[in-house]
Every structure is written in C-alpha cells, then in structure tokens.
Amino acid sequence: MFKRNWVPLPVLQKALTEKCHREISLFVFLKMTTASRVKIESRKKKEILRFFSISKSTLYRRLETLREWNWVGYDELTSIYFVRGYKYIYKKEQFISRTAVRVKFEDLLQFQVFSFSASVGYLVRQQSRRKERGAERKTWRSKQSPASIYRPVAISVMETLFSISKDTIINLKKKAIDVGYLKRERGYKPLFHIKYLTPEYYTIHPEHIGKLRRDGPMIALIQPDEFIDLHIYKRKIYL
C-alpha cells in the first residue's frame, strides 16, 4: 500500500518547471490527510485554510485547477472530491522516473523550495552513482554513500532542466540551503596573487579558459557550486 508521506519525483519536477507548486502542495496535503475521498465541509475546509493560510476563494481556485488536470474528481450530487492515485497520474502525465521523495507536512508550506532542492539533490545522486560505476572496483562497496559526497550542479544546467530563470534559481538555492534541504560548497576558489594574467598561463592551463575572475589582488577560479543532498529517496513502482 502506498505510504502517503512519499511523493514521486516527477510530481515535484512538474511543480517546479510548470510553476504550479501551490496546486500540487494542496494535492499532496489531500493525499496525506484523506482516504482518497473527501468532502470539503466546514471542518476540513478550516483545516486546509488554517494550514496554508489561504482564503476560501484561493482554495476553490486551486481545487478547480486540480479538477482541470483530472488529478481530482468531483461528484456534484454528493459534493465529494476524489483524490486520484499516483498510478493514475503516472499514466495520464506519462511520467517515467520511479524515484519518490519523503515529504513532511512542513515541506508543503515551502513546496517550491522543496521541489527545487529534491530535483537538484537527485542530480547530485545521479552523478555519484555514475562515478561509482565508472571507478575501479578495488573494493566490494564504496566507503562513502552518494549522499555524503559534494557534487557540482551548474546554474546553466538547472536553467535548462527546470525551465526557470537564473534569478529564481539563485533565490531557491539560498532558501534550500537556509532551510537545510541542501549543503553547499562554493565553487569560488581563490588561486593566487598576480598583477597580470598572461596568455601563456592558458597555454599551460587550458582547463581554466573562461573560468578565472579577478577579485582584488587575487585571481579566483569560478566553478559550479557543489552540493550534498539531504533528502530521503526511495524507489517506488507506480506503473
């Protein structure tokens, strides 16, 4: 049976890339608090309004969006909402990834940040797995888990994959680190004091072309920030 504190990664990626995190956070809340059938009557309505700090009109507007997606059904005779299962949503949206992310109630109140950090964290873990598979097999198992190793994720990669602006990425990245979803090691690395950077330097270090910046008396190497992901993931089958 599906444990309702797990959310499929593609659902989070949709929330991020299509900027519909408010509607999907409501959907996940309903999944976590109902048995797939619910009447939005006074008690339940007050619970939702109080939790999200929203108005009644906002609540019904978000429910209407979920109905338009057919993620939620509605019986006008009984006033019952039917919260679709993830198996149905996978088929409808043609989702592929079988990864799910553990979610807590407090994550729903900052769902855009949560969706962003889980998506970045998945990229970090993918890198770690690829590097482990490509490494020489001198021992039976890795000494470090993928979650304990810093891996780089460039802003340009996030822009391409998540379809969001650089400013939004910088803002979400800061919030994710502040909340504790991600740990970061800055890509900014001062290298040396030098007055002039000659062309001969790039002949010796062609890998630094386009990556060096002057910072006062220092020359610094600018690389993508590296991250450790702090989410909990699980492989689940919804198909």
CATH code for the domain in which residue 19 is found = 1.10.10
Residue 109 and residue 30 in contact, taking contact as beta carbons nearer than 8 Å:
no
Helix (H) or strand (E) holding 8: strand 6-8
Q: What is the pLDDT of residues 122-162, one digit of tens each?
A: 988 887 665 555 544 444 344 444 455 677 788 888 999 99
Task: Evaluate if pTM is beyond 0.85.
Answer: no
Residues 199-215 have a mean pLDDT of 66
- Helix H, strand E, coil C: the string for 121-190 is HHHHHHHHHHHHHHCCCCCCCCCCCHHHCCEECCHHHHHHHHCCCHHHHHHHHHHHHHHCCEEEECCEEE
Could you give the CA distance from residue 158 to residue 116 in angstroms, rounded to a whole number?
Answer: 9
* Residue at 71: amino acid letter: W
Residue 75 placed within a domain: yes
pLDDT > 60? residue 207: yes
Residue 151 placed within a domain: no
Count of domains forming the chain: 2
Q: What is the pLDDT of residues 208-236, one digit of tens each?
A: 666 666 666 667 666 677 778 888 898 87
Residue 20 placed within a domain: yes
Residue 62 placed within a domain: yes
pLDDT score recorded for residue 150:
72
Could you give the CA distance from residue 179 to residue 11 in angstroms, rounded to a whole number?
Answer: 21
92 and 192 part of one domain: no
pLDDT score recorded for residue 2:
40
Q: What is the pLDDT of residues 34-66, one digit of tens each?
A: 988 898 888 899 999 999 999 999 999 999 999
What's the chain's average pLDDT? 83
Which residues constitute the domain of residue 193? 188-222
Tokens of 184: 């970061």
pLDDT score recorded for residue 119:
95
pLDDT score recorded for residue 140:
38
Bridge-based pairing of strands 6-8 and 99-102 is: antiparallel
User: Which residue among 64, 96, 114 closes a domain?
Assistant: 114
